Amino acid sequence: MRALLQRVAHASVTVESEVIGRTGPGLLILVCAMQGDGEAQADQLAAKIAKLRIFPDEAGKMNLSVKDMGGGALVVSQFTLAADTSRGNRPGFSTAAAPEEGKRLYEYFAARLAGEGVPVETGRFGAEMKVELLNDGPVTIWMET
């Protein structure tokens, strides 16, 4: 699985003019299941993200996890993280998981992250979404299992 984490002051996702998910201070997590991924990769990614120390402590040092600082996560599916740009000018997405499996793993990942003690809200798989965020830092981290 691939994920792009952004430390945010706040983030929201809107579908058809309705806000369907939001978080205050915490993480915006864009996530993509790749071909061959399964629950083990989602488990690994959720556990790592829940413990990743990228929030400032009282001394301003990145020493706290999203759980430590009491933050939440907005998890948004984004198959374009599978983009292959090695040939031509149009990215290919053939390495992304098939839509049914991608949706299953996206939902499983969000549930596992919540199971790690992080409050989670989500976007809507396959929907045309508008994502707004206020990046904090900025801190943006790429992760891959």
So which residues are the catalytic ones? 78-80
Tokens found for residue 117: 């003690």
Contact in structure between 81 and 31 (CB atoms under 8 Å):
yes
- Using alpha carbons, list the distances in angstroms from residue 120 to 12, 90, 91, 93, 117: 12, 33, 30, 27, 9
Tokens found for residue 133: 């965020």
DSSP-derived pairing of the beta strands 130-144 and 120-122 = unpaired
Residue type for 103, please? K
Please name which of 143, 126, 137, 123 lies closest in space to residue 55, comparing C-alpha atoms. Answer: 137
Residue 134 makes CB contacts below 8 A (sequence gap 6+) with: 8, 9, 10, 11
Residue type for 122, please? T
